[in-house]
Amino acid sequence: MGFELSSLISNKLQMLSTSDHASVVSMNLFVALLCACIVIGHLLEENRWMNESITALMIGLATGIVILLVSGGKSSHLLVFSEDLFFIYLLPPIIFNAGFQVKKKQFFRNFITIILFGALGTLVSFTIISLGAMEFFKKLDIGSLDLGDYLAIGATFAATDSVCTLQVLNQDETPLLYSLVFGEGVVNDATSVVLFNAIQNFDLTRIDHRIALKFFGNFLYLFFASTLLGAITGLLSAYIIKKLYFGRHSTDREVALMMLMAYLSYMLAELFYLSGILTVFFCGIVMSHYTWHNVTESSRVTTKHAFATLSFVAETFIFLYVGMDALDIEKWRFVSDSPGISVAVSSISMGLVMVGRAAFVFPLSFLMNFSKKSQSEKVSIRQQVIIWWAGLMRGAVSMALAYNQFTRAGHTQLRGNAIMITSTISVVLSSTVVFGLLTKPLILFLLPQPKHFHSTSTVSSDLGSPKSLSLPLLGSQQESETDLGNHQGTTDGGIGRPSRLRMLLNAPTHTVHYYWRKFDDSFMRPVFGGRGFVPYVPGSPTEQSTNNLTEQRT
Amino acid sequence: MGFELSSLISNKLQMLSTSDHASVVSMNLFVALLCACIVIGHLLEENRWMNESITALMIGLATGIVILLVSGGKSSHLLVFSEDLFFIYLLPPIIFNAGFQVKKKQFFRNFITIILFGALGTLVSFTIISLGAMEFFKKLDIGSLDLGDYLAIGATFAATDSVCTLQVLNQDETPLLYSLVFGEGVVNDATSVVLFNAIQNFDLTRIDHRIALKFFGNFLYLFFASTLLGAITGLLSAYIIKKLYFGRHSTDREVALMMLMAYLSYMLAELFYLSGILTVFFCGIVMSHYTWHNVTESSRVTTKHAFATLSFVAETFIFLYVGMDALDIEKWRFVSDSPGISVAVSSISMGLVMVGRAAFVFPLSFLMNFSKKSQSEKVSIRQQVIIWWAGLMRGAVSMALAYNQFTRAGHTQLRGNAIMITSTISVVLSSTVVFGLLTKPLILFLLPQPKHFHSTSTVSSDLGSPKSLSLPLLGSQQESETDLGNHQGTTDGGIGRPSRLRMLLNAPTHTVHYYWRKFDDSFMRPVFGGRGFVPYVPGSPTEQSTNNLTEQRT
């Protein structure tokens, strides 16, 4: 085992230039900073204001300042912002883990609302921000921006940041809000893909109903194709692991196969120009419903925590990087000439983001409430405020979009582009810090009893189910309540069925849910495995120990 | 969450060129192939000839042929061979996992032998191969090669492939051979770094005792500094996790911190021009001795399997890639003019590798046996043959070295360089396939009763311990026997100590081991945690369930 090569290269390059060793230095610093973020985040755990994202962002900013001072104002960041790094390596584990650990029941109960928020909401937000930008920015002297630029600004600031949402909202404390805001973020993606394709491919000067219809069809195709791809990949992994009975030989193969197939679903979606985020999200849901039950107990514990850890590291990485990148001196050069305009642009953008979000959250919530009868199932105005507030954060996706639109082909030197880049950074930083810091206190202020709120939200979503058209993958009452974290019910797969059937038949809920359950029990689970249909693995599931293992915080 | 960007880029680039989408296609194919390797490897598990490396290599070759045919003979590989990819991302998890899961007792019992094999052996092998290449290749008409090239050939073919060893030898069946051959591979690295520095920095025309002494000092510095760095990073992780009591809040943070600090140790070694492999190997050993015992039970299961999985995927990746890369048509262009010379060079290289290894395995084993009294503790000639045989494989490291020496600065067009590259590929492929396929049967043939062999090897290594100068980190009898896989003894940390002390005092082994145990129990474990000194974590270690969880094959 010779390691001469790397040292050889380092030595060689050190004679020529210091670039290679410099990148080793950067990587060291970055990994050390990640460790620091974890330790400090742990120490601040009890703090009601801070969360991990803001800690990482602050550490990133502080490091940026130090580097700026050390390098004599030349550079503030260690790594070049790479869209590939973000979209190919950091985002997939985060979204997959969200799907893997999501409370399936909550998610599918609010499916229609989530779709409305994600699709219609994004469109409303995009339109308002684009029109607002056209209206206000033209009055300011910020250089030449064409129609495409304004639309891009709309798309940039309409892109919500699911990663922040995951950090700020707690799935256990506020399940309804979490599933609405996060689910919306996932659907937001499909909308955005259609939106951008539309901007590029359709003739925007002649908008008629044919184009609107095509647009709508495009969205439906993208949504269903992406979901289907995710589901198929997930089911395939379940089938392979069940049939080939991997646990017999090796836990590692099971874990590796789950990881690789999850990643494959994302890359396949990219291959077919679908929405990778939607695909990998649904792949995570299917894997947690079938595949996860087919593997050995060690693999269950390992996948649960390994996916969560990967997601956690990727999140920390993103925030650390965004904090560090914000101080890149080159971007601020133009702005220093006219700080007033930059502040104005940032403020206007932030204002438009808030107006754009308010313009769909409150009307759609009103419509949602309008369709419901009892008072308890409605989304209160306080909850609406939190939904509005928690989705205001803009993050790495907005940054990536702004970079893509305003820095390509040497356009960075243009005044308008430079101002737009710095404004995006300002909006991302300020929204993450302000909304990130204030969301926890706001929830405590508006919904003082999280326990009480938990129960009311469950009620409201419970009764919301007759409105839902589709409730796929919804398990038994116990199952969906407990999900991955606490699956006491594994052994009642056989025992519990009669009572479940009785319950369903007694209750007036001949919804999709009932048929799905029937289909799931009679066809899907026997074929793809899942709870109650797990092949016997020697020395495996003793419920007691799994509960012990999984009850610690995820 | 907008994913418009990636799609946008794909669309944009598709208009300009197909490069971006082509890389998405490659990644899809590669991930799918990795999945295929896992599934096929699983199906061939019972086969006595095949192993995972050869499966991956074969699938890589087959894919290469298909791509070659589809692309009309233009290209056979999907990804460009990147030394960074190999040394920065694929190698560290493999070596760390090897340290993490190594049987510490075996390893430290044979420490002196391992050092001799790794350091002296590599030097002998390097010298013989370099001299042999100079002697034979000059007679063949293969173009201009200077002294540096010949020395590089020596280093290339002296670099053993620990990854192959890990796959071919079984730690449980042949623990002595495994620890000797694998340990030798790790030490081989430190030697190689010194070797290359020497080739580059010393004046090779005047070799006297001063240079030899400097060389030796350099090696000692590199060895101890790398080991120390690994140990310090490992202890730091143990201390942080013990002091801050991470399990209280989050399992994910513990796992993330262990992963990041392991990686940090590797990158720090690179930063200081040390041997990253040695560092990360010892970091793995220290982490399994201290840190692993400080974390929650879920983290233990997760880290054990997650590290093994990462290592497994990285190994499969390497072999898949090597197989695919072997058919790259450009390299074979020169060779097609004179196939005879290429075959001759490959055969001579392979012969030199075999002679070079024989030249140190048998004499050093003889010396080792000479120093021992009883017959049972000697390494039999059959075992020597297996040691010789199992270390003959050359792998990705040799490839990386050959690429580095013979393809830089446009030298690929030179006849001599092209021949050396193809010869290296031939040697790597044939050695991996031939020795990989035949090692399992050879062991069965030479040592027909693996059970019996197991016991004799334990005896021989047991009695070898008085010869060892250092036995650091050696736990109690039970502990080192069981290591990570089967730690029934956790609870006997307190109970077992008196009997262990008595045992040590009764036996005439006032070796380093005894003092190390005393030091470990009285200072190291109270400070850094470890078995028997684990803080109480609610809902954590119930021995029964851990045994259940860990007894499945690692």
By C-alpha distance, the chain B residue nearest A311 is B252
C-beta pairs of B477-480 under 8 Å, 24+ apart in sequence: B477/B503, B479/B531, B480/B103, B480/B104, B480/B105, B480/B106
Looking at the domain assignment, is residue A523 inside a domain?
no
Tell me what pLDDT residue A238 has.
Answer: 92
ipTM above 0.95, yes or no: no
Q: Tell me the H-state helices in A245-295.
A: 251-271, 276-286, 292-294
Q: Is the pLDDT of residue B502 over 60?
A: no
DSSP secondary structure letters along B7-61: HHHHHHHHHH-SHHHHHHHHHHHHHHHHHHHHHHHHHTTT-SS--HHHHHHHHHH
Question: Distance (Å, rounded) from C-alpha A200 to C-alpha A187?
Answer: 20
Across the interface, do B197 and A7 touch by the CB < 8 Å criterion?
A: yes
Tokens of B514: 């005894």
Q: Is the pLDDT of residue B355 over 60?
A: yes
Is B266 part of the contact surface with chain A (CB cutoff 8 Å)?
Answer: no
A22 vs A181 pLDDT, higher one: A181
Across the interface, do A312 and B244 touch by the CB < 8 Å criterion?
A: no
Interface of A with B in 534-553 (CB under 8 A): 539-540, 542, 544-545, 548-553
Is B244 part of the contact surface with chain A (CB cutoff 8 Å)?
Answer: yes
B112 vs A363 pLDDT, higher one: A363
DSSP B102: S
The total of structural domains in chain A comes to 1
Looking at the domain assignment, is residue B231 inside a domain?
yes
By C-alpha distance, the chain B residue nearest A199 is B8
Instruction: Report the gap between the CA of A337 and the closest CA in chain B (Å).
Output: 30
Question: Distance (Å, rounded) from C-alpha A305 to C-alpha A303?
Answer: 5
Using 50, 70 and 90 to split pLDDT, how confident is the model at A190? Answer: low
pLDDT in tens, B139-190: 877 777 777 778 888 888 888 877 677 677 777 777 778 888 888 887 776 6
Looking at the domain assignment, is residue A294 inside a domain?
yes
% of chain A surpassing 70 pLDDT: 70
Instruction: Report the gap between the CA of A459 and the closest CA in chain B (Å).
Output: 28
Looking at the domain assignment, is residue A30 inside a domain?
no
% of chain B surpassing 70 pLDDT: 70
Across the interface, do A302 and B296 touch by the CB < 8 Å criterion?
A: no
Question: Which residue, B229, B228, B294, B289, is CA-closest to B257?
Answer: B294
Is A249 part of the contact surface with chain B (CB cutoff 8 Å)?
Answer: yes
Across the interface, do B542 and A545 touch by the CB < 8 Å criterion?
A: yes
By C-alpha distance, the chain B residue nearest A247 is B552
Residue of A25, A195, A264 with shortest CB distance to B271: A25
**Chain B residues whose beta carbon lies within 8 Å of the beta carbon of residue A540:** 548, 552
Question: Which residue, A533, A537, A508, A511, is CA-closest to A520?
Answer: A533
Residue of B252, B404, B539 with shortest CB distance to A305: B252
Question: Distance (Å, rounded) from C-alpha B420 to C-alpha B411?
Answer: 12
By C-alpha distance, the chain A residue nearest B25 is A271
Is the pTM for the entire model greater than 0.90? no
Average pLDDT over every residue of B96-119 = 82
Looking at the domain assignment, is residue B55 inside a domain?
no
Is B228 part of the contact surface with chain A (CB cutoff 8 Å)?
Answer: no
Looking at the domain assignment, is residue B172 inside a domain?
yes
pLDDT in tens, A27-60: 888 899 999 998 888 888 777 667 777 888 889 8
Q: Where are the beta strands (DSSP E) in B486-544?
A: none
Chains A, B: CB pairs < 8 Å: 312
pLDDT in tens, B18-57: 346 777 888 888 899 999 998 888 888 777 667 777 888 8
Range of the domain at A385: 81-446
Interface of A with B in 171-190 (CB under 8 A): 185-186, 188-189
Residue A423 sits at φ, ψ, to 5 deg, of -65, -40
Instruction: Report the gap between the CA of A193 and the closest CA in chain B (Å).
Output: 4
**Chain B residues whose beta carbon lies within 8 Å of the beta carbon of residue A306:** 255, 302, 305-306, 309
Interface of B with A in 288-317 (CB under 8 A): 296-299, 301-302, 304-306, 308-309, 312-313, 316
Across the interface, do B273 and A35 touch by the CB < 8 Å criterion?
A: no
Residue B391 identity: G
Looking at the domain assignment, is residue B351 inside a domain?
yes
Counting beta carbons within 10 angstroms of the beta carbon of residue A70, is it exposed (0 to 12), middle (13 to 18) or buried (19 or more)? exposed
A493, A533 in Cβ contact below 8 A? yes
Residue of A255, A299, A542 with shortest CB distance to B545: A542
Entry field: residues in chain B: 554
Tell me what pLDDT residue A79 has.
Answer: 63
Looking at the domain assignment, is residue A547 inside a domain?
no
Residue of B28, B160, B267 with shortest CB distance to A28: B267
Question: Distance (Å, rounded) from C-alpha B478 to C-alpha B483?
Answer: 8
Across the interface, do A249 and B45 touch by the CB < 8 Å criterion?
A: yes
- For tokens 């300042």, name the residue: A65
Tell me what pLDDT residue B433 has.
Answer: 83
The helix (H) or strand (E) run that includes residue A368 is helix A339-370
Question: Distance (Å, rounded) from C-alpha B137 to C-alpha B129?
Answer: 11
Q: Is the pLDDT of residue A232 over 90?
A: yes
Across the interface, do A270 and B240 touch by the CB < 8 Å criterion?
A: no
Tell me what pLDDT residue B237 has.
Answer: 93
Is A22 part of the contact surface with chain B (CB cutoff 8 Å)?
Answer: no
Instruction: Report the gap between the CA of A121 and the closest CA in chain B (Å).
Output: 13
Q: Which CATH number do you get for residue A127?
A: 1.20.1530.20
- Choice among A152-161, A243-252, A365-374, A422-431 with the minimum mean pLDDT: A243-252
Across the interface, do A39 and B244 touch by the CB < 8 Å criterion?
A: yes
3-state helix/strand/coil string of B529-547? CCCCCCCCCCCCCCHHHHH
Across the interface, do A200 and B161 touch by the CB < 8 Å criterion?
A: no
